[in-house]
Every structure is written in structure tokens, then in C-alpha cells.
């Protein structure tokens, strides 16, 4: 075997092994003052109903104007979020009842922070020719609602996913011609 031929084989095998790095990736982050889920949860825990003021809440990083990515809610929005037709008001936490009684003196703030990284994994060639696309998603998300009456926190609630790990697999047995029928039917319209 000639040295030129060996060089071509080496170059071809190197390019095939490096193809995985040619797959696209994606980073999606809802910008926040928090580094990660634990930081967000720690700051959330520092907000104490009955004690924390609006300015203290903003100082913790939950400020929809300065930090962004927050939704300001009127007491009507708070009522629509928490009061359900088949649940008596007596079942609501005291802070929410206080909000409903205060009406216009009640305000809510809803936040949703997240950070995800999506990597395409698997065979470059199967991905390129549309036979199989595999995406690995990692990240975290944190959602919270704060309810204040007269600038004092009266209720808070949160939920989230501290450690997202997902694998999304899409298979197309027909590869590059998968969906061609739909494409051509759309072109005929």
C-alpha cells in the first residue's frame, strides 16, 4: 500500500471519528441573578412570609424590573391562579385569604428561571441523513410566586426541576425522504 493511500485512509478514519463533534448543540437560559438551582432555592428560602418586605425581596434577586423575567400580577391574577371553583376559600393558606381581603393592596410576582444545555449525540451520518436524531437535554428550572399585601410578603410557593436529564430520540426509517409526501402536498396547494 502506498504512503499516499495510507494517508488517505488515515485522514478518512480521523474525519469519521471526529464527526460527532460536528453535531449541533444549543444553550437556552432564562437570565437571572442566580447561578444554579441551589442558589435560587437558597435565596427563595430567605424570603419569610410576614417579615420580608418588597425591597428585601428585590434585594434577594426577585425583582421583575431590575432583574427581569418576572411577571407582576394584580390581586385578580392572584385569585385566578390560586382560587379554584371547587375548593372553598377556607382551604387556602392564610396569606392568600389576606390577599383576597386586601384586594387592591395585594400584588403578586411570578418568576420562572431555567437553564438547559442540549447536545445532539449519536451518529453524525444518521443525523445528517435524517435517519435518527438524538438530543441529550440537561439543566434546571425554578418557578415561584410571591404574594404581598401592603409591601409585606404574605405567601410564597415554588416548584421546579433541580436536575433535568432527558434523552429525546426521533427516528425516521425512510431517512431523507421521510416527510417528502407532506412537503410535495404542501407545494401543490
pLDDT in tens, 145-173: 999 999 999 999 999 999 888 887 788 77
**pLDDT at residue 6, rounded to an integer:** 61
Mean of pLDDT values over 101-113: 94
**pLDDT at residue 5, rounded to an integer:** 61
**pLDDT at residue 134, rounded to an integer:** 80
Closest of 65, 62, 31 to residue 147, by C-alpha: 62
- Residues 77 and 149: their CA atoms lie apart, in Å, by 14
**pLDDT at residue 107, rounded to an integer:** 96
Number of Cα atoms under 13 Å in the Cβ half of residue 82: 28
**pLDDT at residue 84, rounded to an integer:** 86
Average predicted confidence (pLDDT) for the chain: 82
**pLDDT at residue 131, rounded to an integer:** 74
Mean of pLDDT values over 66-83: 89
pLDDT reading at 175 higher than 80 = no
Say if residues 113 and 125 touch (Cβ distance below 8 Å): no
Backbone angles phi, psi at 151, to 5 degrees: 65, 20
Largest CA distance in the chain: 89
Q: Decide which of 134 and 161 is more confident.
A: 161
Closest of 103, 186, 96 to residue 147, by C-alpha: 96
Residue 184's pLDDT band (boundaries 50, 70, 90)? low
**pLDDT at residue 94, rounded to an integer:** 94
- Residues 166 and 154: their CA atoms lie apart, in Å, by 36
pLDDT reading at 180 higher than 70 = no
**Quick one: what percent of the chain has pLDDT higher than 70?**
76
pLDDT reading at 106 higher than 80 = yes
**pLDDT at residue 88, rounded to an integer:** 83
**pLDDT at residue 150, rounded to an integer:** 96
| pTM as predicted | 0.73
Amino acid at each position: 500500500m502506498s504512503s499516499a493511500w495510507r494517508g488517505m485512509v488515515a485522514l478518512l478514519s480521523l474525519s469519521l471519528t471526529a464527526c460527532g463533534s460536528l453535531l449541533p448543540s444549543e444553550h437556552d437560559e432564562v437570565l437571572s441573578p442566580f447561578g444554579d438551582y441551589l442558589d435560587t432555592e437558597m435565596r427563595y428560602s430567605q424570603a419569610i412570609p410576614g417579615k420580608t418586605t418588597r425591597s428585601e425581596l428585590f434585594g434577594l434577586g426577585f425583582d421583575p424590573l431590575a432583574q427581569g423575567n418576572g411577571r407582576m400580577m394584580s390581586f385578580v391574577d392572584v385569585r385566578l391562579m390560586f382560587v379554584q371553583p371547587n375548593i372553598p376559600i377556607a382551604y387556602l393558606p392564610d396569606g392568600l385569604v389576606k390577599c383576597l381581603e386586601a384586594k387592591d393592596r395585594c400584588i403578586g410576582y411570578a418568576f420562572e428561571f431555567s437553564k438547559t444545555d442540549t447536545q445532539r449525540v449519536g451518529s453524525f451520518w444518521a443525523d445528517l441523513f435524517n435517519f435518527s436524531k438524538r438530543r441529550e437535554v440537561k439543566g434546571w428550572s425554578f418557578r415561584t410566586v410571591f404574594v404581598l399585601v401592603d409591601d409585606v410578603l404574605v405567601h410564597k410557593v415554588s416548584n421546579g426541576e433541580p436536575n433535568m436529564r432527558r434523552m429525546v430520540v426521533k427516528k425516521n426509517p425512510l431517512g431523507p425522504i421521510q416527510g417528502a409526501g407532506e412537503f410535495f402536498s404542501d407545494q401543490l396547494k
